[in-house]
Amino acid sequence: MTYTKTYLVTGASGFIGRALVDRLRTEGHNVRAAVTRGPVEAGQICCSLDASVSDWERAIEGCAGVFHLAWSTVPRSANGAPLDDVNTNVVGTVRILEALRRYPTVPFVFASSGGTVYGESLEIPICESHPLRPMGVYGASKVAAENYAMAYRRQWGVDARVLRVSNPFGPGQNIQGQLGAASIFAARALMNEPIEIWGGGETVRDYVYIDDVVEAFILMMTRSPDAFIGIEPILNVGAGKGVSLNDVVRLLNNILSRRVQVIHRSARKFDVDINVLDISLAGRVLRWMPATTFEEGMRKHIRYMQDVLVKPV
């Protein structure tokens, strides 16, 4: 039997946030979706990352848990404005943690970045104990927020938990944005637009379907604190398998039964060559494993986009 609970979700209008809110509400829970500005709609609360500690205390009061997904930058924009990234995202996260000192038993699940915090990998797949050597500001800020979360856990008993998510993709992702190569490539291919690849196309990433990501967040939130005795609650979430950009293109050629257009651009300095996560710890602690293969997820995503993007003539 599922009991109705109230959860606060920051970043509720983002890709993962929207999917998570839908899942929580489908299960009968109440959601306080934190938005950056008014007017607020039903189920929303105006509480941006620059909100005060007292504002966050009021937002958290009565909640069974906090999902912290809000982040104002992507890797490229973070590198362009490092101070803004720190002042908005890191300081904003610390304000939420400070508010949680009043509610230390309320679980706080932070969405970190398994794709950027590790930097160039010393081993593949990458486990949680791998050194954190981010190559860009975005990853450095995520590491800083993680460290603050764990410091608040050790010092003041805040029930902070971290998921390092690899490269989520699927229905609802912003195909006009700068994150989500799989979704952006699929959308461009469907619309007969050229795909841009930075470098030679052998860059390898770990793509995980959105439904599997949401499942991991739910399990991380609802897992008993006893499950984390003896370990820091920092877990990788990914597919555990690598796919190159050229592999993505080849799969699209196969699914669409035609050759898609590709334009190659100069490689970017903040892109690592390969990033594949070891997800065995999440399997042991959360009993979680991705249920959707990359090909299955892409076929589902393409069917969704065909309904949304491709208009009848």
Q: What digits encode the pLDDT tens for the residues 175-231?
A: 887 678 999 999 999 999 999 998 899 999 999 999 999 999 999 999 999 999 999
Q: What are the counts of helices (DSSP H) followed by strands (DSSP E) for the chain?
A: 11, 13
Q: What are the pLDDT digits (tens) for 277-300?
A: 999 999 999 999 999 999 999 999
Positive/negative CA dihedral, 277, 147, 282, 72: negative
Spans of all domains in the chain = 6-308
Q: What are the pLDDT digits (tens) for 81-94?
A: 999 999 999 999 99
Phi (first) and psi of residue 73, to 5 degrees: -130, 165
What type of residue is 166? S
- Give 55's contacts (C-beta < 8 A, 6+ positions apart): 47
Residue 7 bridge partners (DSSP): 31, 65
Confidence of residue 308 (pLDDT cuts 50, 70, 90): confident
Mean pLDDT of 102-127: 96
Determine the Cα–Cα distance for residues 190 and 188; give it in Å rounded to an integer.
Answer: 5
Q: Which CATH number fits domain 6-308: 3.30.200.20, 3.30.1330.10, 2.40.340.10, 3.40.50.720?
A: 3.40.50.720
Tokens of 85: 């990234």
Mean pLDDT of 167-174: 94
- Give 276's contacts (C-beta < 8 A, 6+ positions apart): 121, 124, 125, 126, 166, 204, 205, 206, 238, 240, 241, 242
State the DSSP H helix or E strand holding residue 53, giving kind and residue range, or none if neither.
Answer: helix 53-60
DSSP string, 19-50: HHHHHHHHTT-EEEEEESSSS--TTEEE--TT
Answer yes or no: are the C-beta atoms of 169 and 239 closer than 8 Å: no
What type of residue is 229? I
Q: What are the pLDDT digits (tens) for 24-42?
A: 999 999 999 998 876 567 7
Q: What is the mean pLDDT of the chain?
A: 93
Model pLDDT, residue 313: 38
Mean pLDDT of 254-278: 90
Q: What are the pLDDT digits (tens) for 40-91?
A: 677 788 889 999 999 999 999 999 999 999 999 998 899 999 999 999 999 9
Model pLDDT, residue 309: 67
* pTM for the structure as a whole: 0.94
Extended strands (E) in 103-240: 108-113, 160-165, 167-169, 195-198, 204-205, 207-209, 234-237
Model pLDDT, residue 310: 58
Determine the Cα–Cα distance for residues 31 and 164; give it in Å rounded to an integer.
Answer: 23
Mean pLDDT of 146-169: 98
Q: Which residues of 275-305 are buried (b: 16+ CB within 10 A; e: fewer)?
A: bbbbbebbeebbebebebebeebbebbbeeb
Residue 274: Cβ-neighbour burial (10 angstroms; 0-12, 13-18, 19+): middle
Tokens of 305: 């986009």
- Give 98's contacts (C-beta < 8 A, 6+ positions apart): 53, 56, 152
- Neighbouring CB atoms inside 10 A of 266's CB total 7
What type of residue is 154? R
